[in-house]
Amino acid sequence: MARSLKLGMIVFFGEFVRTGVLITLLPALATQRWHVGIDAAAWAISAHYLVDTIGRAPAGWLVDRWGTRRPLAVGMLIAIIALTLLFTIGNRVPLFVLTGLYGIGTAPLWPATVTEATGDRNQSVGGAMGYVFAAWLVGAGLGPVLTNVLVHHDFYYAFILLLGVQAIGAVWAPLVTGFTKRLRRPSTPLHALLSALWRVRPLLPGMFAQTMSLGLFLPIINVFAQRVLGLNPYGYAELLFGAGAVAVLLMVPLGHLSDRIGIKLPLVVGFGLASVAVFLLGGARSFDSALGFGILAALAYAFILPAWNSLLASVAPGGAEGSLWGVFMSVEGLGLAVGPVLGARAWDRFGVRGPFAAAAVLLGVMAVFYLSYPLYRLRRPIGAGD
């Protein structure tokens, strides 16, 4: 538990900054300070996730060769440089160049952290991933909320907050990582890695669709809260914290539940609930209704995330966890790269409910898929000596 919490803090720091920058600071700078429009911000967000996605597989390979400490430390240093450039010269160069550089810095974050968290085969994988994703939710919720509050006072204050948290993460990560080499078995041959990828090939389209459904909301969620729900920064914070608290509180126990009863039921229930909740959220026009549907969505993702990552961890060959996690997360990241642009277009063409309806359809399709597919065939680690 203590180690999982320490590793979760790495994700907390990284995602606090990422969501603060991409959901709040960047769109605000683009529309209020630089006057380049929401489309420029959406393309910059997509560029970040595209570079981050492309970089995760090589980052995972580096984790297998060098351990987790060095890739994380170098990545966080690059992230600090990118954030500094974004704020100081963001109005003089294309935004996607700077957010792309930021994507290089964030690429090692998830492959390294998840490899550390799942490296000990004797621990509860679902429980460990529950802690990591609970920390992610807290960071991803606090980041845009606190940034939004500070942006309304001064952009400079928001930048200092985000840069400071990134610097703390750069110091913290090397202190609590670097132990996976003693936990994992000797390096796995390339053919075992390719065998694992071939085994999970039916899941690859789903990886893309799942994260694309989330990416649809990135450029519009702040606008939805302000223009449609009429929330000020503090009301927006209450909405996110109210729904997020449910997910954080339930993430670990539902992660342990998936270890005991299997992953099929949590995935089917989770995606089914998420589809309904997201569709209803698109029709919310008051704080109370949005909070209720948001809590339902949070419950759904508390079912989904630990079970989904427990499934992926179960097929990672020993000695190549970093490489395989990097590939998985590259596929997932493609969804986040495509989602923001499609979300902005859906908002412009179909109105408020456009992104929500599109996401609901994707999530519903995933629920049907997991209901019908025999997932038990995938739940066997592959690798040397298995």
CA-wise closest residue to 116 among 106, 128, 105: 128
User: What does the pLDDT look like over 307-358, one tens digit per residue?
Assistant: 877 777 776 655 566 677 777 777 877 887 788 888 888 888 888 889 999 9
pLDDT over 60 (residue 90): yes
> Cα dihedral angle (4, 10, 11, 17), rounded to 10 degrees?
160
User: What does the pLDDT look like over 234-273, one tens digit per residue?
Assistant: 887 788 788 888 888 888 788 778 778 888 898 899 999 9
Scanning the structure block, which residue is given the tokens 């750069």?
Answer: 170
End-to-end distance of the chain based on CA atoms, in angstroms?
A: 27
- Is the domain covering 2-174+196-378 a CATH 1.20.1250.20 domain? yes
CA dist., res. 284 & res. 9, Å (int):
33
DSSP structure string for 205-231? HHHHHHHHHHHTTTTTHHHIIIIIS--
Its pTM stands at 0.73
